[in-house]
Amino acid sequence: MSNILGYRRHVPGTQPKHLHPPYVSSITRAPSKPLVYIPHTLTEATGPLFGKEVIDVKACDLTRQHSGEPLGERIILGGRVLDEDGRPIARTLVEVWQANAAGRYLHKVDQHDAPLDPNFTGCGHTLTDDEGRYRFVTIRPGAYPWRNHYNAWRPAHIHFSLFGPAFATRLVTQMYFPGDALLPYDPIFNCTADEQARNRLISVFDWASTIPDQALGYRFDIFLNGREATPMEK
């Protein structure tokens, strides 16, 4: 047990720095001292695993959680969860949350002057299948103002939370939509130096999963930290 196969560390530039002053909330919350590098031990190479017992199979359709249908543009949001070698991560939990079509969250702190939708909570979850695929039915969230700076607006986005196979692979991120004019102005989207890494947070319009007369399809693939190469592979 002494030689744990760890997970790969992030490639420099492909993740945000903790302190990103244009995102004002980071100024008093980001650590000021350097992080302490630690090896991956059994603690980091294991992690909570969630199975069917925590899943409500209906929770992958955010448009069917109330008596009526939510307002907004219905979308099919799907993709795969893979590791950095492109191997599917099967039966892993994906949690999502989002604003409604008017750009309002069902949350007491959100006082944006836009209507709540009685037919939309904005919360879903699912497990990936054996090929790492997931699929949600939801509505496209609206953009909304926030107080970070003058005339600040968040581009439309959906929050994603994933555990993957280990404590070391935990990821919380946000998915954006292609062609959103607000993206160049958003300090959260732009907090990552590497442009390519940043742009991979933007989903792709997917004609193949678009359902005629019903919903537009978007694809968003998610990559979690891969395994370190074994000594044999080195």
Partner 1 sequence: MSFNATTSQTVGPYFSIGLTRLRKTDLVGAGGSGDRITISGRVIDGEGKPVPDAMLEIWQANSHGKYAHPEDTQNKPLEPDFQGYGRVGVDENGGFAFSTVKPGTVPGPDGKTQAPHIAISVFARGLLLRLVTRIYFPDEASNTDDCVLNLVEPARRGTLIARKSTVVGALEWNVILQGTDETVFFDC
Within 20-39, the residues that bind partner 1 by CB under 8 A are 20, 23, 25-33, 35-39
Site for partner 1 in 37-96 (CB under 8 A): 37-50, 54, 82, 84-86, 95-96
How far does Cα 106 stand from its chain's mean position? 18
120 binds partner 1 (CB under 8 A): no
101 binds partner 1 (CB under 8 A): no
Site for partner 1 in 138-157 (CB under 8 A): none
The residue within the footprint of partner 1, chosen from 177, 200, 203, 217 (CB under 8 A), is 200
Please identify, using beta-carbon distances, which residue of 1 and 213 lies nearer to partner 1.
Answer: 1
Which residues are identified as catalytic? 105, 144, 154, 157, 159
The residue within the footprint of partner 1, chosen from 74, 135, 159, 219 (CB under 8 A), is 159
Burial class of 119 by CB neighbour count within 10 A (0 to 12, 13 to 18, 19+): middle
Which one, of 167, 198, 181, lies nearest residue 42 by Cα?
167
Stretch that binds partner 1, among 70-78, 128-136, 195-203, 207-215 (CB under 8 A): 195-203
- List the structure tokens of 211: 């359902």
Which one, of 215, 227, 223, 218, lies nearest residue 72 by Cα?
215
198 binds partner 1 (CB under 8 A): yes
With beta carbons less than 8 A apart as the criterion, state whether 120 and 66 touch: yes
How far does Cα 232 stand from its chain's mean position? 34
